[in-house]
Amino acid sequence: MKKIIPILSIITGCYWVIYGFKYGFWIRKGPGGGFLPVISGILAVIFAILVLKSQKNDKDKIKFNWKAFLPVVGVISMLLISYLLGLILAIAIYIFLWLKYIEKYKTLKSLIIGSCCSVVVYGIFVLWLSVPLPTGILGLL
């Protein structure tokens, strides 16, 4: 069971490398659009192989903890919610729920931090940089 994450990391790393080269690794004497995915993919594969090798020598029986998948489930949920409510609201909901139920912050503190983070992301990416973020159903209103 401990080998699932490193194997998935190897598969994901290979995917990044393959598609990174399709976007162009080095274009006109400079890094292309695929430069960072290729480097990240290579590093993911290397580190996953190192983890698999270290687990080969490890004889301890470690009980698998499903809470390790909470960040992955949270990010996937945030992506799905962003299609409905927009990315900014999805970020606010994700941060609030994470702080409230995982980190055990008080409700008011979680609301303030989630709201502030969303306002900062909105200010930087929407107002300042004019990045078209997903607006979801709220964008249709």
Q: What pLDDT, in 10s, does the model give residues 33-84?
A: 889 999 999 999 999 999 988 887 766 666 767 787 888 888 899 989 988 8
Domains of the chain: total: 2
Q: Note whether 25 and 79 are same-domain residues.
A: no
pTM of the model: 0.61
Give residue 35's Cα distance to chain centre. 19
| Residue at which a domain ends, from 41, 63, 85 | 63
Determine contact, residues 23/36, Cβ cutoff 8 Å.
Answer: no
- 135 pLDDT band (50/70/90 cuts)? confident
Q: Note whether 96 and 126 are same-domain residues.
A: yes
Q: What pLDDT, in 10s, does the model give residues 89-116?
A: 999 999 999 999 999 999 999 999 999 9
Q: Note whether 58 and 71 are same-domain residues.
A: no
Domain that holds residue 132: 67-140
Determine contact, residues 96/117, Cβ cutoff 8 Å.
Answer: no
Q: Note whether 79 and 123 are same-domain residues.
A: yes
Q: Note whether 126 and 73 are same-domain residues.
A: yes
Strand intervals (E) in 28-87: 30-31
Q: In angstroms, what CA-CA distances link 11 with 46, 55, 56, 103? A: 12, 18, 19, 31
Q: Note whether 91 and 117 are same-domain residues.
A: yes
| Residue at which a domain ends, from 45, 63, 81 | 63
| Residue at which a domain ends, from 38, 63, 88 | 63
Burial of 50 (0-12, 13-18, 19+ CB in 10 A): exposed
Strand partners, 26: 31
